[in-house]
Structures are given as structure tokens and as C-alpha cells.
Amino acid sequence: MYVAVKGGEAAINNAHRLLADRRRGDRSLPSITIEQVVEQLGLSVDRVMAEASLYDRSLAALAVRQSRGDLIEAIFLLRAYRTTLPRFGSSVPIDTANMTIERRVSATYKDMPGGQLLGPTFDYTHRLLDPSLLTDEEVDVAARRPEGEDAMMRISDILAHEGLIEPDSAPDDGEPAGDLTREPMEFPMNRDLRLQALARGDEGFLLALGYSTQRGYGRNHPFVGEIRIGEVEVELDVPELGFAVSLGTIRITECQMVNQFKGSSKAPPQFTRGYGLVFGQSERKAMSMSLVDRALRAGELGEDVTAPAQDEEFVISHADNVQATGFVEHLKLPHYVDFQAELGLVRKMRADIEKARNESMDNKEAAE
């Protein structure tokens, strides 16, 4: 139950003023610029864009700064901003086969056409704190080498002709894809909607669920077929022009997980696939997403649904960290009247028990 309570206005104003003060921190230090956040904390920016489901590096950096680096708060800010804008339309589906490649690795094929490009990765670093970053030391420019001749084929295209791996579904561009920002969620849902929910889902939640499948809760024997990070063109059909125009490029991470599958009554023995696609550079998220995508296909592939990661309603209903934080954090808001009512109830119950006990004692004494 909610009732109007007054008296917090001055406190709230001063709390916000204090927040602004703490956000600025020590005034003898220069304040951080949006460009610095974009350039030097780029992976935080990417995470905010991915989970806010809004690609805009500058606005995401603004949100990171405004939230003092609290990324879920930043995601919330960016989600709120997007609700203020009209939608111009939907892009032509992006073509990840034709993206520029910054990183591309496969754990299944050593000698895939185009090769293995490590790109700007934390892998193989020693995870030792680097004292050179305590100061503003000059950093070497990146090494360069002439690019290879081979096209960077997608692993799924390389494997497809053998028939041992599940092919992509025939592209059905007629039916508009489900959009959970427009329609309320209903279960069971199709894979397109699930992928939309997973793409904006909390990285930590999906990581934990992906991990749970590896530990045996819905095991699906994954291999990283391919991870690729790079930039892809976004095109929009503009009716006024009568053709699709490029709007520019966005950075994305794609993960093709290849899963061993012994077959079921619904599908022959073959490798099946889980798919991850995320805004920005985030292979942890893309890998987790592809593990969970595969786990959620249990029903479709005729597997037993036994583990949390295979439970569509459980996974999709709890993946959104803005919804989750809203409901968890609302507990701190005033519930004075609810609590008073509960307090009265507990007092009454205790009094009733006390009374019953006294009466039974009285009866006992009387009997004696």
C-alpha cells in the first residue's frame, strides 16, 4: 500500500547535490571527458551499449560518467533515453560474413581460410598489474603487416557443405522478427525473440548460466567454432530514395558455438550450433549468449529439459538487469504502511498465542 508522505524534498535535493559532488571527486584532478571514456574505457562503453540495447558510443560514455562507473545504472540511463526517440525503421539484416575483421579465432580449425587473428585480446597476457600504466608512458603504435589474400569465410559456411553441421535456417525475410520492446513477452517464444532478449541480457547472468551448462547442468559439449570482432555496415531502406543507404558502421562481436549432438527422435546425429551476437567488443558475452542459446534449444532438438539454463521462461524472465535491479532495489523505498500493517499483525498473532497459552494454564490450574 502506498500513501503520500511529504517532507523529503530538501533531503532529496541535497542528496543529489552530494551525489554530483562525489561524482566530481577531488577538484584538484582534471575531470574526465566523454572522449576519454570512449577511447580509454571502451569496453565499459561497449557493455553499456549492448545491455541498454542502444548503439551510441558517446551517449553510453556519458551514461558511464553520469553513473560514476556503475554500469547497470548507466544501462538504465541509456534505456530511459531510448524511450524518448521515435523509430525510423529497421535495418537491412547486417551481413557478418562481410564485416571487417579485428579479431577472429577458431578453436575447431587451426588452418581456416584467412587464418587466426588474435586482435586486441587480453588472452595470453600474464594478468600482472602493469606499473607502467601508473604513469603516462608513451605507448608504441600497433605493428602492421600486409593483409592476407584469403576472404574471412564464416566457419558455418566452411562446414556447411559436409552436412555434418546444422545449417542456418532458410532465411525467411517475409515474417517480421518479433520485437520485445513492442510486444509483451509470452512463453514459449521463438528463437528470434530469445536472441533479442539474450543480446540485451546481463553479461554476468548469462556467463553464470553458460558456465552451469559446462559444469553439467544441461551439458551440450561446446566448441568455439568461431569468434569474430569487427565492424559491419548498417543499411536502411529509405523509401524516399528507393534503395538502401549505408548509415555507417558499428562494431560487433559474433560467436558461433559448435555443439556435439548425439541425435534424438527429432534430429540426426550432427553438430548443432548456438549463436551469439553482441554490440561492441565483448566475446565473454557473445560466448555466454551462444551457450545459453544452444541450451534453450533443448525442446526444439528433442533433448530433456532438466537444467536452469534450458528453462526458457526462467532464463528470459531474469536476464534483463534493468528489470531485475528495478524490482530488487524497489525494496529500499518506503514501505512504512506495509510494514506497520505487518507489525500489527505479528503483535496480534503473538498476543493470541500468549492468551491461548495463559488460558490453557488457567484451565490446568483449575483442574488441579
Partner 1 sequence: MESARPIEPQAAQALQQPQTGEGRRRAASLLARATRLELEKAWALLPKQPAVKPVRGPETGLVMVRGRIGGGGTPFNLGEATVTRATIMLDSGTAGHAHALGTDREKARLAAIFDALSQEADSHAFVERELLGPVAARIATEDKVKAEEAAATRVDFFTMVRGDN
The total number of residues written for the chain in this structure: 368
Convert residues 102-131 into a mask of x (bound to partner 1 by CB under 8 A) and - (unbound).
Answer: xx------xx---xxxxx------------
Return the number of the residue (216 or 242) whose C-beta is nearest partner 1.
Answer: 242
Q: C-alpha cell of 144? A: 602492421
Return the number of the residue (238 or 341) whose C-beta is nearest partner 1.
Answer: 238
Q: Binding partner 1 by CB under 8 A: which of 136, 175, 183, 368?
A: 175
Q: Which range, of 4-12, 15-23, 166-174, 319-327, touches partner 1 by CB under 8 A? A: 166-174
Q: Which range, of 164-172, 258-266, 328-336, 342-350, touches partner 1 by CB under 8 A? A: 164-172
According to DSSP, the β-strands at 100-105 and 243-261 are unpaired
Task: Scan for cell 547486417, then name that residue.
Answer: 94
Return the number of the residue (11 or 142) whose C-beta is nearest partner 1.
Answer: 142
User: SS in 3 state form for 124-180?
Assistant: CCCCCCCHHHHCCCCCCCCCCCCCCCCCCCCHHHHHHCCCCECCCCCCCCCCCCCCC
Q: Does 96 bind partner 1 (CB under 8 A)?
A: yes
221 close to 257: Cβ distance less than 8 angstroms:
no
Q: Does 212 bind partner 1 (CB under 8 A)?
A: no
Return the number of the residue (212 or 275) whose C-beta is nearest partner 1.
Answer: 275
- The CB density around residue 260, as the number of other CB atoms within 10 Å, is 13
Residues 38-77 that bind partner 1 (CB under 8 A): 49-50, 53-56, 58-59
Collapse the DSSP code of 313 into the 3-class scheme (helix H, G, I; strand E, B; otherwise coil) and give the result.
helix
Q: Does 325 bind partner 1 (CB under 8 A)?
A: no
For residue 112, what is the DSSP state? Answer: -
Collapse the DSSP code of 341 into the 3-class scheme (helix H, G, I; strand E, B; otherwise coil) and give the result.
helix
**Distance (Å) of CA 17 to CA 22, 75, 78:** 9, 22, 22
Q: How many residues bind partner 1 (CB under 8 A)?
A: 83
Residues 264-323 that bind partner 1 (CB under 8 A): 273, 275, 277, 279
Return the number of the residue (208 or 234) whose C-beta is nearest partner 1.
Answer: 234
Q: Binding partner 1 by CB under 8 A: which of 39, 179, 329, 342?
A: 179
